[in-house]
Structure 1
Amino acid sequence: MSKQVQVHGALFLVALIYGSNYSIAKEVMPTYVGPFGLIVIRVVSAAIFFGVFSRMVTKEKIVGRADNLRAIACGVTGVAINQLCFFAGLNLTAPINAALLMVIVQVVVLIFSAILLKERVGKRKVSGILIACTGALLLISNSQSEATTGNIWGDLLIILNASSFGMYLVLVKPLMQKYKAVTIVSRIFTVGAVLVVPFGFSQVLAPNYSAFPVSIWLAILFMVFAVTIIAYLLNTWALRFANPSLVGAYIYLQPVMAILIAVGVGKDVFTLEKALYALLIFAGVYLVSRTKQHAVTKEKIKERHV
């Protein structure tokens, strides 16, 4: 099997894993485990795994006050706020809404890059931002209708999640240039675990785990190992060989997979209105990502968490 085929296979599997997560997470919460409890299980498990993995493989440490403070900020934005808002939002809104709104992360990255890193924003990028935001606002406003499967508060939490993750991608770029990826991920998951435990500790203790059916245990294991660990490792490997345009193409595949899976398992309905709003969001993001921008947008946008 050629290296190119392996890269395509890895990126497709990552898109499939992330796309599946929207519907699988809805199966677990809130009936079996609350959204914040699910976050604690996932983040603490990831922190333990990457902590051990980092010490065994790299044995690298983040040094200096500035880098350590930046790593803490990355843990706050990239794990704590990101995960709390994502699962709380997904718990309220529909899988398709969440998947479509997450695509605007690239737009958020551009906005924060312009504000924090003084990156120049041209007319094409401004047009893309306006178009994508219009699609997102229409999708959110449509969630107020009783006939829709979405939820306005859930949609807003997903937007906050995307904004937090976008800020994380901008903040983490200087660290990625100095340290190995697993070193940074180990630190930010450790920080995130400390912050999310107070929010979800009671929800972790509440369920009667002995009464969980096998399907729910498999769903939880999927979110811990597939979404957080396997997807990260596959994505990290593939990004060594994939060019930015290829990575960008698979970013667009994630919501498509999420829509197909959600509709296929009966977790959501893909309406004509959602299709039109999706086209606006995709068109806007395409305009934003067409021109050369921050490398973090292309190289790190697929690392979720998710």
Structure 2
Amino acid sequence: MQYLSKLESINTTPSQVESKLPIHALMLLMVTLVASSFPVGAAITHDLPPVVMMFLRFLAAALFFAPYVFGRNGLTLPPAKALLNYALLSLPLVGYFWCMFEALRTTSALNTSALYTTLPAMTAIASFFVIKQARCGRRSLGLLSGTIGALWIVFRGDLSALLSLQLNAGDLLFLFGCILLSLYNAFLKKVYSGEPQEVMTFWVISFGALALLLVSLPSFGQVTWAEVEPSTYIGVLYLALFTTLFTFFLLQLGTQKLGPTKVAAYSYLTPVLVMIFTVVLGTEQLSWRLAPGALLVMLAMWLIQTQPRAKA
């Protein structure tokens, strides 16, 4: 969820590569959990209104997270200015997740996961305008390769569809959600002032839950709670616990050990993993036409992963 944007550069020598392999394995676990959120979300998105489902997810995540945050940092409130920043930061985050669940009603988990890999490029553009962050040539090449690979997967390797931009309404909605999330990432780096990352995360999630509560109140009357399948609540808890909180801790560890850019590169594996999930679940058929897109995504990840840490 959050990137540590002010870490000092640490050079990685060849003798340190082997010691970092467990960290890379944990990053693979993290991106696997993120990828799993798309088919899980697609499976339960028709059972509750998206805004209600997102409220339950944010509320559960905040409740799970509260004992750790207050146990580690004490029962204190951040300064008023920080609380205002957290409240404002929660708005694009809430918007992204709402767009995700609403989009999954009319598009596939594979499409949303592929569009999600355009996020690093969008974040790079947003960061350039918001915090004047320069881009190096190798990283830009990686971003371009990942974006092309993602588009290839979305359009199933159909060049004519790619040229005519035949995105459905769900794809366009999720693309807008990715724009919101890129703005969240850029402004996050701008307002971060060195406070514990878990404090910022908790209050952003909590303000998000509050905002979702306010906008979801009219939808509560449309829900027949007794008829909601238990599997739906299990899915919401899974999203809150594993794809929100657990991935946060893995992200923190990876960012400290590898640097934020190298961790972000793992998001390029999302459509490949979702493709595997959907084939296993029987909701998609494997097509070799997707292979070039997957290879471009892997190339993008390699370009950024092999970049010297000082430039990450």
If the length of structure 1 is used for normalisation, what is the TM-score? 0.76
Query: Structure 2 CA distance, aligned partners of 1:196 and 1:274?
Result: 37
> Counterpart of 1:37?
52
Instruction: Specify which of 102, 122, 137 is matched with residue 116 of structure 2.
Output: 102
CA apart distance, 1:72: 2.6
Aligned residues: 288
2:265/2:300 contact within 8 Å kept? no
> Counterpart of 2:126?
112
Instruction: Specify which of 195, 201, 207 is matched with residue 185 of structure 1.
Output: 201
> Counterpart of 1:48?
63
> Counterpart of 1:88?
102
2:31/2:270 contact within 8 Å kept? yes
Instruction: Specify which of 165, 182, 186 is matched with residue 170 of structure 1.
Output: 186
1:22 is matched by which residue type in structure 2? F
CA apart distance, 1:58: 1.2
Q: Which runs of 5+ in 1 are unaligned?
A: 299-306
> Counterpart of 2:6?
none
1:61/1:183 contact within 8 Å kept? no
Matches for 1:260-275 after TM superposition, within 5 Å: 260-275=276-291
1:166–1:292 Cα change, 3 Å: farther
Instruction: Specify which of 55, 79, 98 is matched with residue 63 of structure 1.
Output: 79
Identity of aligned residues (%): 18
CA apart distance, 1:182: 1.0
1:97/1:155 contact within 8 Å kept? yes
> Counterpart of 2:39?
23
1:249–1:135 Cα change, 3 Å: closer
1:46/1:229 contact within 8 Å kept? yes
Q: Which runs of 5+ in 2 are unaligned?
A: 1-17
Instruction: Specify which of 145, 164, 173 is matched with residue 157 of structure 1.
Output: 173
User: What is the DSSP-based 3-state SS (H/G/I as helix, E as strand, rest coil) of the residue aligned with 1:156?
Assistant: helix
CA apart distance, 1:109: 1.2
CA apart distance, 1:6: 4.9
1:37/1:204 contact within 8 Å kept? yes
1:102 is matched by which residue type in structure 2? Y
Query: Structure 2 CA distance, aligned partners of 1:137 and 1:5?
Result: 30
CA apart distance, 1:84: 1.2
CA apart distance, 1:190: 2.0
Q: Give me the CA root mean square deviation.
A: 3.6
If the length of structure 2 is used for normalisation, what is the TM-score? 0.75
2:64/2:241 contact within 8 Å kept? no
Query: Structure 2 CA distance, aligned partners of 1:83 and 1:108?
Result: 17
Query: Structure 2 CA distance, aligned partners of 1:208 and 1:226?
Result: 27
1:232–1:245 Cα change, 3 Å: closer
CA apart distance, 1:107: 0.4
User: What is the DSSP-based 3-state SS (H/G/I as helix, E as strand, rest coil) of the residue aligned with 2:79?
Assistant: coil
1:104/1:281 contact within 8 Å kept? no
